[in-house]
Structure 1
């Protein structure tokens, strides 16, 4: 089940949100997809921002899909 949270300028980016809420900063793209965002930087957003978070999914590989390391 998805959760909605309120983020502020102190959250800086979706990397920070993903690390704190999903336990993996590289999962920022999952939050971005759910919220129609393309950029992990939150500095351009008027705060506070309401974001829908995906559920924590331990089966998700780290990283951005389609990008090889």
Structure 2
């Protein structure tokens, strides 16, 4: 079963979700990509939305897909 999380506008952004769930705010794009999103802002969610979360991956260290720091 995939790891999921219910989010609302109160969660502010995927940056906040990634920091809390993945330990790295710059990995917001991994959550976005997995859920078909392209904007980290969650302010437009009027109702709760369930997001699928990727596994924690310490090798993703730059925050940009395909670019290492």
TM-score computed with the length of structure 2 as normaliser: 0.86
Q: 1:16 corresponds to which residue?
A: 16
C-alpha deviation, 1:47, in angstroms? 2.2
User: How many residues in Structure 1 have an aligned counterpart in Structure 2?
Assistant: 69
The two structures have a TM-score, normalised by structure 1, of 0.86
Taking a change above 3 Å as real, the CA distance of residues 2 and 55 of structure 1, as seen in their structure-2 partners, is: farther
- Give the deviation of 1:46 after TM superposition: 2.5
Whole-angstrom distance in 2 between the partners of 1:30 and 1:42? 15
Q: Which runs of 5+ in 2 are unaligned?
A: none
Find the aligned partners of 2:18 and 2:2 in 1 and give their Cα distance. Answer: 14
| 1:1-69 map, 5 Å | 2-65=2-65
Cα RMSD (Å) of the superposition?
1.9
